[in-house]
Structure 1
Amino acid sequence: MKKLIIVALLIVGMTSFAQESKQKPQRTQMEQLNPEQRNQLRLKRLTLDLDLNASQQKEMSKIIAEQSAKKEVAMAERKAIKNAGKKLTPDERFAKQNKMLDGKIAMKARMKKILNPEQFEKWDKIKKHEQGSMRKKMLHRKKKMSGLEDK
C-alpha cells in the first residue's frame, strides 16, 4: 500500500513539473505595439501617476521619444555584439557604463527642470521601483539559466 501511494505521489509530482510554463500575455501584446504607441502609453501612465499638465506632457513626450530611440539603438548594438560572438573588453565595458550613467545624470537634471519637487519625488520613487523589479527579473533569469546548465 505504501509503495502504491509513493508511486502515485511521484507520478503527480513529475507531471506537475512537466507542465509548460506560460509566458505572460502582456509581454506579447507589448511587442505588437509600434514604438509610437508604446511612447503614448508611457506618457499617459506618467500623466496619471504624476498629474502632469499640458506643457509638462509636451516636454515628456519629447523625452520619451528620445529615450525610445536610444533604447532601440542600444538593443541593436547588443544584438550585433551577441551575434558576432564577441565579448566586450573591460575598457569598452567601462566606457559603455560611463556613457549610460552620464545619460542617467542628464535625464535626472532634465526631469528636475520639468517637474515640480513633489512630482520629481514621485518620479524618482517610480524609477527606483522599476529598477528593483527589473533586477529581480534578471536575477530570476540567471538562476533559471544556471539551473538548466547544471543539469
Structure 2
Amino acid sequence: MKKILIIAIALIGLQGIAQEKGKEGKRQHNKHHQKMDLTAEQMATLKTKKMTLALDLTASQQSQIQALNLEKSTKRKAMMAERKANKNNEKPKKLTSEERYDKLLARLDSQIAEKAKMQKILNKDQFEKFEKMKKNIKKQGKRQMQNKRKGEHRNR
C-alpha cells in the first residue's frame, strides 16, 4: 500500500512539473506573436536602434541602415503573409526540388547583396562587430531549434 501511495505521489509531482513547462512555452509563444504584430517600419526602426547601440553608428549610417532594414522587414512581412495564406489552404502546395533550389538561391543572393551593402556603410571595426553579432544570433537560433526538437521527442 505504501509503495502504491509513493508511486502515485511521484506521478502527480512529475505531472505538475510537465504542466509548468507547458505554461512557460505558451508565454514565449505569446511574446513571439506580440513581436510579430509590429509593422515593417517599427521592426526596421527597432533593429536600427539596436544596431546603433551595438555598433556606435553615425547619423548617416543610421539612415542608410534604416533604409536597408525597412526593405528587409517589408520583404519578411510579405513572405510571412504568403506563408500564412499557404498554410490556411486545405492542401498546402509542395515545392518541387527545382523551386526549392531557386528559392534557396534567391535567399543566398539577397544575403550576399546585403553583406556587400553593409560593408559599404560600416567601417572595418563596425563590420567585424556586425559579423560577430550575426554569428551569435545564428547560434542562438540553432540552440532554440535543438531545444524545440528535444521537447518534441519528450512529448511523444
> 1:8 — aligned with what?
9
Distance across 2 between alignment mates of 1:105 and 1:145? 34
The within-5 A match list for 1:125-140 is 125-140=132-147
The within-5 A match list for 1:1-151 is 1-19=2-20, 20-22=22-24, 23-24=27-28, 26-84=31-89, 85-145=92-152, 147-148=154-155, 151=156
Identical positions, percent: 40
One-letter amino acid of the counterpart of residue 130, structure 2: W
RMSD in angstroms over aligned alpha carbons? Answer: 2.1
One-letter amino acid of the counterpart of residue 71, structure 2: E
SS at match of 1:130: helix
Q: TM-score scaled by structure 1?
A: 0.85
- Unaligned 5+ segments in structure 1 are none
Count residues with an aligned counterpart.
149
Post-superposition offset of 1:98: 0.3
Distance across 1 between alignment mates of 2:150 and 2:12? 26
Distance across 2 between alignment mates of 1:89 and 1:58? 40
Contact 2:51–2:57 (CA under 8 A) maintained in structure 1 = yes
SS at match of 1:87: coil
Runs of 4+ aligned structure 1 residues displaced above 6 Å come to none
- Unaligned 5+ segments in structure 2 are none
Q: TM-score scaled by structure 2?
A: 0.83
